[in-house]
Amino acid sequence: MAQKHIFLVEDDQRLADLVQEYMEKQGFLVSHEVRGDLAVDRIVKAQPDIVILDLMLPGLDGLEVYKMIQPHFKGGVLMLTARDDDIDQILGLELGADDYVIKPVQPRVLLARIHALLRRYGLSDETPAKQGFQLGDLYINQAARQVTLSGSEIDLSTNEFELLCFLANHAGKVISRDQILHAVRGIEYDGLDRWVDIRISRLRKKLNDSSEHPQKIKTIWGKGYLFVKDAW
């Protein structure tokens, strides 16, 4: 496959050099920008496969950069931040970013997250998924990455689609947060990560499931989530 392009927006030059050197050794093409305000046009023009975006940047912060590139960029976005703050993490995910990593980060961990994003966007060397499957009125076409419910197409983000596929493939079984994170993001659950909860909430809303009394994607307290096979 063609060489994958990573665009790194990071004002810590030492960290940027470390990440760029490591990723280039792994076979990636890496572009780097220090300022948020200068990164926007460069990202839109380059259309890289993955953007690694620091939150604290001169010119424009990472969240503003993401808002500006979102309408014009379809690749994966991984936010990089020194803030161990749920508000920043949740806000970034709510805006639609695919993932986040808290600094300091080991290059191998960052590499695992990048590979997970490439899998979500169909850019890895893995065997393609089966064409699709049906559960009641819900149809998931994995090859075309489309979802319909009662004949109407449902607009899902890439990570929402991947999460739905994983849950649907395990319909009728209770799946833990750790299993979901490992399968979809390539990481282990640390007891605090809100990624799964936020994405489940979004899926429920888009799939007409009650947020207060869900019947299609149920919360099994202390264990995880249950995708109910016969609820569709």
- Which pLDDT score, from 0 to 100, does residue 132 have? 65
Best CA proximity match to 51, nearest among 27, 26, 72, 21:
72
User: Which residues, 6 or more positions from 133, have their beta carbon under 8 angstroms from its beta carbon?
Assistant: 139, 140, 142, 168
33 or 134, which is more confident?
Answer: 33
Task: Give dist(CA 188, CA 4) in Å, integer.
Answer: 25
Q: What is the DSSP code (8-state) at residue 223?
A: T
**26 assigned to some structural domain:** yes
Indicate the range of 102-106, 131-135, 161-165, 198-202 predicted with least confidence: 131-135
Its pTM stands at 0.55
**183 assigned to some structural domain:** yes
Task: Based on the fold, state whether residues 20 and 108 are members of the same structural domain.
Answer: yes
Domain that holds residue 21: 5-120
Task: Based on the fold, state whether residues 89 and 150 are members of the same structural domain.
Answer: no
Final residue of a structural domain among 69, 88, 120 = 120
Check: CB of residue 51 under 8 Å from CB of residue 9.
yes
Q: Is 222 left (phi over 0), alpha (psi -120 to 50) or beta?
A: left
pLDDT tens for each residue of 27-40? 889 999 999 999 99
Asked if residue 6 has pLDDT above 90, the reply is yes
User: Which residues, 6 or more positions from 89, have their beta carbon under 8 angstroms from its beta carbon?
Assistant: 81, 100, 194
Indicate the range of 76-80, 166-170, 187-191 predicted with least confidence: 187-191
- Which pLDDT score, from 0 to 100, does residue 48 have? 92
* pLDDT band per the 50, 70, 90 thresholds, residue 96: low
- Which pLDDT score, from 0 to 100, does residue 42 have? 94
Task: Based on the fold, state whether residues 112 and 137 are members of the same structural domain.
Answer: no
* pLDDT band per the 50, 70, 90 thresholds, residue 221: confident
**113 assigned to some structural domain:** yes
- Which pLDDT score, from 0 to 100, does residue 127 have? 43
Task: Based on the fold, state whether residues 137 and 115 are members of the same structural domain.
Answer: no
Q: What is the mean pLDDT of residues 139-158?
A: 80
- Which pLDDT score, from 0 to 100, does residue 192 have? 57
- Which pLDDT score, from 0 to 100, does residue 95 have? 64
Residue 63 sits in a domain whose CATH number is 3.40.50.2300
56 or 1, which is more confident?
Answer: 56
**145 assigned to some structural domain:** yes
Number of domains in the chain: 2
Asked if residue 72 has pLDDT above 60, the reply is yes
- Which pLDDT score, from 0 to 100, does residue 143 have? 67
Task: Based on the fold, state whether residues 115 and 36 are members of the same structural domain.
Answer: yes
**125 assigned to some structural domain:** no
User: Cα-flanking dihedrals φ and ψ of residue 127, to 5°?
Assistant: -65, 135
Task: Based on the fold, state whether residues 177 and 222 are members of the same structural domain.
Answer: yes
Mean pLDDT, the chain, rounded, equals 81
**126 assigned to some structural domain:** no
Asked if residue 141 has pLDDT above 50, the reply is yes
